[in-house]
Amino acid sequence: MRLSPIFDPVSPQAAAMERVSTVGFVVSAFIFAGVTLWIALALIRYRARPGSPELEKIAFGNHRIEIAWTLVPVLIVAYLFIVTAQGMRLSDPTVTRAPDVIVTGHQWWWEIQYPRSGVVAANEMHIPVGQKLYIRLESADVIHDFWAPQLGRKMDMIPGHPNAIWIEADRPGTFQGSCGEYCGNQHAWMRFTVYADSPQDFARWEQAQLRPVAATAAGPALAGRRLFTTLTCVNCHALKGTGASARYAPDLTHFASRSTFGAGVSPNTADALTRWLRNPQDIKPGCLMPNFQLQPDQVANLVAYLETLR
Ligand code: CUA
């Protein structure tokens, strides 16, 4: 999973920052080239030669040149200031309403809540295209940093001190994000995906997430459901319809609707899930889910159950 390129913004917020960066780079490049050129010319043209005048005999002081080389940098800095202030205003407008999405950083995954609808997701965030969304950023443990480079600015998630950013997607697509602040040994596997959906697709997704999971009739899935509710799973995970409501680990209600698990560490397939349940520490060493020493049939039943959670 590759982090989305920062120089290919797909939101007005990210575009504003990209502009500041490009303008700053171009202006600096011209200044660098100009200064280098002048130094090179001066070194060649005015180098000491036999018979050249002594230093103290050279005339000093030229009001016109001095005014020019004071005024020009002042104008350049003023221009950069204006571009920066505009970028800041566009990428980080003042907050005027309740958050659309609340993202909470955990070691090492993302909890994504939609307060208006009540949907709770993990690691995969769906947003409607063309809507400016106010995202509130929180942390459950240490300092994390929410960063979806193509969609908006980077922002720390500080325990006990909610931060906020605006993001908006100009076009539908899938955009990668990651934690941008070292937060422990699985910091590198604290990825997330933003799915920018058309408003219809987003509404459909939200409705699907709100629907209770289908009842498990019989077979391995039913056995898996029993294991889920009787083993220690419920101490950390929430799963609507089973009574499990803990928030220490990802909400599993619509687990099978996600394309990855473990904050991007693995594709969400039966094989990968089997390996994960055998020993999560094999796949994501240091993660807070311990090896429960499950028997092969227990793993198979749990996988069968999780696969039904569409
Ligand atoms: Cu969370 Cu790095």
With CA atoms as reference, report the closest residue to 120 among 240, 216, 242, 265. Answer: 240
Q: Which atom of ligand 1 is nearest to the CA of 107?
A: 1
pLDDT at residue 82, as a whole number:
95
Q: Separation of 145 CA from ligand 1 center, angstroms?
A: 6
- The amino acid occupying position 156 is D
Find the 262 Cα to ligand 1 centroid distance in Å.
Answer: 13
* Chain segment 88-131, per-residue pLDDT in tens: 888 887 877 899 999 999 999 999 999 999 999 999 999 999 99
Q: How far apart are CA 276 and CA 289, in angstroms?
A: 10
Residues 148/4, Cβ–Cβ less than 8 Å: yes
DSSP 183-199: -STTGGG-EEEEEEE-H
Pocket, ligand 1, Cβ cutoff 6 A: 105, 108, 144, 179, 181-183, 187, 190
Q: Residue 180 CA: which ligand 1 atom is closest?
A: 2
Q: Is the peptide bond before 108 cis (omega within 30 degrees of 0)?
A: yes
Q: How far is the CA of 144 from the centre of ligand 1 (A)?
A: 4
Q: Model-level pTM greater than 0.75?
A: yes
Q: How far is the CA of 190 from the centre of ligand 1 (A)?
A: 6
**What pLDDT does residue 34 have?**
94
Output the residue whose Cα is nearest ligand 1's atom 1: 144
- CA–centroid distance, 178 to ligand 1, in Å, is 8
Closest-lying ligand 1 atom to the alpha carbon of residue 181: 2
Residue 187 CA: nearest ligand 1 atom is: 2
Mean pLDDT per 10-residue segment, the chain (310 residues): 75 90 94 95 85 68 88 95 91 84 96 94 95 94 94 93 92 94 94 95 93 78 89 90 88 91 92 93 92 91 90
d(CA 47, CA 219): 91
Res 240: pLDDT: 87
